[in-house]
C-alpha cells in the first residue's frame, strides 16, 4: 500500500516537474521574442531620430538593434524560465508535503487502532491470568485444607491410641 502511494507520488511529481519545464521553455521563447522585438523596434526608432537623415534601416543601426534584441530577449527569456522552473519545483514540493501529511494522518489512525486493539488484548490476557491464578489458588487452598484436615484427623486418631489418652471421661482409681 505504501509502496503504491510512493510510486504514484513520484509519478505525479515527475509529471508536474516535466510539465513545468515545458511551460518554462514555452514562456522563455515567448518572452525572448516579445522582448527582442520590442528592443529592436525601440532601437530602430531611437536610431531614426538620432540619425540626421531620419532614415530607418541603416546598417549600423540595424546591427545595434539586432544585438540589443538578442541581449534583451535572452535576459527576459532566462528570467521567465527561471521563474517557471521555481514555480514547478514549489508545486512539486507542495504535492510531496500534502501527500506526506496524508500518509502521516493515515499512519496515526492505524497506530491508534492498533493501540486500542493491543489494550483490549492486554485486558483479556490480564483477566485470563487473574482467573487462572484464582483457580490455582482455590486448588492449592483446597489441597492445603485437605492435607491439614487429613493431618488433623490422623493426629487425633494416633493420639487416641496413645497410652493414657482416652476420649472417655477419667475414672477414679480403685483402691
Residue 98 lies in a domain: yes
Side-chain-side CA neighbours of 23 within 13 Å: the count stands at 14
Q: Per-residue pLDDT tens for 27-77?
A: 889 999 999 999 999 888 888 888 777 666 677 888 888 899 999 999 999
**CB contact at 8 A, 84 and 24:** yes
Mean pLDDT, to the nearest integer, of 133-161? 60
Nearest to 41 by CA among 18, 64, 20, 22: 64
Domain enclosing residue 14, as ranges? 2-120
Q: How high does pLDDT run on average in the chain?
A: 76
108 or 70, which is more confident?
Answer: 70
Mean pLDDT, to the nearest integer, of 132-153? 60
Provide the grid cell at 152.
488433623
Number of domains observed in the structure of the chain: 1
**CB contact at 8 A, 126 and 47:** no
pTM reported for the whole predicted model = 0.54
**CB contact at 8 A, 80 and 31:** yes
Nearest to 42 by CA among 15, 66, 20, 14: 66
Say how far apart CA 48 and CA 87 lie, in whole Å: 41
**CB contact at 8 A, 55 and 44:** no
DSSP state of 53: T
Provide the grid cell at 58.
541603416
Provide the grid cell at 98.
500534502
Amino acid at each position: 500500500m505504501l509502496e503504491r502511494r510512493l510510486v504514484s507520488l513520484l509519478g505525479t511529481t515527475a509529471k508536474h516537474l516535466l510539465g513545468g519545464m515545458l511551460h518554462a521553455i514555452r514562456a522563455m521563447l515567448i518572452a525572448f521574442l516579445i522582448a527582442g522585438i520590442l528592443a529592436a523596434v525601440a532601437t530602430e526608432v531611437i536610431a531614426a531620430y538620432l540619425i540626421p537623415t531620419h532614415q530607418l534601416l541603416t546598417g549600423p543601426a540595424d546591427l545595434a538593434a539586432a544585438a540589443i534584441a538578442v541581449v534583451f530577449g535572452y535576459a527576459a527569456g532566462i528570467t521567465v524560465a527561471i521563474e517557471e522552473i521555481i514555480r514547478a519545483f514549489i508545486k512539486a514540493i507542495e504535492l510531496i508535503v500534502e501527500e506526506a501529511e496524508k500518509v502521516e494522518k493515515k499512519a496515526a489512525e492505524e497506530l491508534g487502532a492498533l493501540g486500542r486493539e493491543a489494550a483490549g488484548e492486554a485486558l483479556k490476557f490480564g483477566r485470563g491470568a487473574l482467573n487462572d491464578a484464582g483457580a490455582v489458588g482455590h486448588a492449592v487452598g483446597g489441597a492445603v485444607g485437605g492435607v491439614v484436615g487429613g493431618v488433623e484427623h490422623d493426629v487425633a486418631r494416633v493420639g487416641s491410641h496413645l497410652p493414657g489418652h482416652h476420649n472417655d471421661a477419667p475414672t477414679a482409681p480403685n483402691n
